[in-house]
Amino acid sequence: MTQDTANRRDTETSERGNAVMSLSRASSFRFPASSSECAFSLVEITVAMGVAAFCLISLFGLLPVGLNSNQIAVEQTVAAGFANAIVADLRASGTNAKSATYGIPLTSGTQTFYLDESGSPTAIGSGPTNSGAFPSRYRASVFITPPAVGQRAATTARILMTWPASADPSPATAPKNYAGSYEILTALDRN
């Protein structure tokens, strides 16, 4: 046997010996003498569960508030879009007697009309459908104030969007019983 072979065999033997020693060290790990050294007490578990329950109840209590705020924000955003569409319709009418899309007369006074959820005009004061739902979701009240005769000034238009439309179904009265509203004031150059 050569010297290299003997050296290799000695190296392998010493590596095996180190592995055996490391295994014997790992098996000499001592577990705690009593179970109270490594476990939670019943009091600690009860306190942790109480804190978790308080947090969950608080979170569930705030959930309806967040959903309600989201619904209000969506309604206001939709109403603002419809009010801006009415303003654009009034501005596009130029010197015509009525607006093109909504047919709003540009004379002094108040015009009330109803819109469905897509923004299309619906019948004034239309009642519930066969399913019991009102086809109108929004009520638009447009207050037009033209300038005095012979005066070169802007015509003002105040648009009040309220919802739900079924809260105030009479177009002759100003809305009072609404859940939400959006109002915009604009000036129209009709000279």
What are the b/e assignments for 122-149, b being 16+ CB within 10 Å?
beebeeeeeeeebbbbbbbbbbbebeee
- Separation of alpha carbons 100 and 46, rounded Å: 69
31 occurs within a structural domain: no
Centre a 10 Å sphere on the Cβ of residue 159 and count the other Cβ atoms it contains: 24
42 occurs within a structural domain: no
pLDDT at site 133: 60
pLDDT digits over 1-33, tens only? 566 655 566 555 555 555 444 555 555 556 555
pLDDT digits over 124-162, tens only? 555 555 555 667 888 999 999 888 888 888 889 999 999
The answer to whether 115 touches 134, Cβ cutoff 8 Å, is no
- Separation of alpha carbons 167 and 150, rounded Å: 40
15 occurs within a structural domain: no
Structural domain harbouring 141? 58-127+134-188
Sheet order of strands, 155-163 included = 121-122, 109-115, 138-145, 155-163, 180-188
97 occurs within a structural domain: yes
pLDDT at site 183: 94
pLDDT exceeds cutoff 60 at 174: yes
- Separation of alpha carbons 160 and 181, rounded Å: 7
pTM of the model: 0.65
Please give the average per-residue pLDDT across 43-70, as a whole number.
Answer: 94
- What domain count does the chain have? 1
CA dihedral sign of residues 45, 51, 55, 56: positive
Highest mean pLDDT among 110-119, 129-138, 166-175: 110-119
What's the mean pLDDT when you consider all of the chain? 79
pLDDT at site 7: 57
pLDDT cut 90: percent of the chain above it: 34
